[in-house]
Amino acid sequence: MPTDYYEALGVDRSASTEDIKKAYRKKARRLHPDVNQSDDAEEQFKVLGRAYEVLSDPQKRQSYDTTGDPNGRPAGFGGAGGGFGGFGDIFETFFGGGSAGPASRTRRGQDSLIRVRIDLRDAVFGVTKEVEVETAETCSVCNGSCMRPGTSPTTCPDCHGAGQTQRPMRSILGTVIQTQTCARCSGFGDIIEDPCQECDGQGRARERKTLKVKVPAGVDKGNRIHLAGEGEAGIAGGPAGDLFIEIDIRSHSVFTRRGNDLHATVNVPMTAAALGTHVTLETFDGDESLEVRPGTQSGEVLTLRGKGVTHLRGMGRGDLKVHLKVETPSKLSEKQKELLRMLAEERGEKQGQSSTEHKGMFAKLREAWESV
């Protein structure tokens, strides 16, 4: 095993502290006596620990680079006389440990979800709506710093800015260092002694804001619109979350939606269905004249191409399907009844007698009128 500490760790002399720590962890896993059963494994592991203890400490590393003396305060393999730095990292390597430094106060804000109700017409063509949202916004007084303007945080006296505290303890490996989150500063490394009064030291406050939301044509109930960065502001100036707009659609008095098609029902008087007529339907595109052919039966469907809902992907529009419902009068005057009896007699129909023919009543009426 080389006695040069840089060679022992396998790093250059210009290596950063983080590079040294990574190299140590990698070799420690491979050379630990519980893993490596070679005769000199324990000795290699001791040298590795001493190398890491010296090079991971800025003052010891400077002294080593200057004098080349490896005997400043070497880390022993346990025992009261040895240092604890190397084996604290051994404990972290094999049993886990704390974070590598003070924690950040900043936290990403939460995502938000609100529901917006629109008319069916808006779903057909799209619309821009103003939406009022109550959410957390970056504090306008401290600008997310959490502190009263003009003040600064103080370094935690317990962990000296590290965010962690350490204490030696005995284990099966000898004396190791137990690392814990600093209780006084909660791991942040500093303390805010004069928090902002406006936001109670959170760096954000509840506010109401108005957003203009573009609802695309073709949206359906349950669809969501994603607005990145429009959710709650993060703690201590952290990035904002996202806002999701869930669409709800009001029922329409005339039209119902099935996929991208619209459906409507038009009532046609019995006589108009028999004789034929034109009816006017008010659609989202304006008035449309519908031809009801003589002899039209109840349940027939007229299709208006391209008068439905816009496809969400922008590939044209669906259709408008008009369902015709022939109305049979339920209340007749004596004169009307007599006229219908005369019509039935003229057509050779007898009351109470069913027909096995497939032609409907109004088809027969059409034939009767055409023969006149």
Q: Is 54:70 a contact under the CB 8 Å cutoff? A: yes
Instruction: List residues bridging with 181 in a β-sheet.
Output: 164
Cα separation, 353 vs 335, whole angstroms? 23
Q: Is 19:11 a contact under the CB 8 Å cutoff? A: yes
Q: Is 73:53 a contact under the CB 8 Å cutoff? A: yes
Residues comprising the binding site?
139, 142, 156, 159, 182, 185, 196, 199
Cα separation, 327 vs 20, whole angstroms? 90
Rg of the chain over Cα atoms, rounded to whole angstroms, equals: 42
Helix (H, G, I), strand (E, B) or coil at 91: helix
Q: In terms of Cα–Cα distance, which of 219, 245, 214, 257 is closest to 116? A: 245
Q: What is the dihedral of CA 233, 235, 238, 240, to 10 degrees?
A: -20
Instruction: List residues bridging with 170 in a β-sheet.
Output: 175
Residues comprising the binding site for Zn(2+)?
139, 142, 156, 159, 182, 185, 196, 199
What is the CA angle 28-87-102, rounded to 5?
Answer: 100
Q: Where are the alpha helices (DSSP H) in the chain?
A: 5-9, 17-31, 41-55, 58-67, 85-95, 120-125, 270-275, 334-346, 361-371
Q: How many residues does the chain have?
A: 372
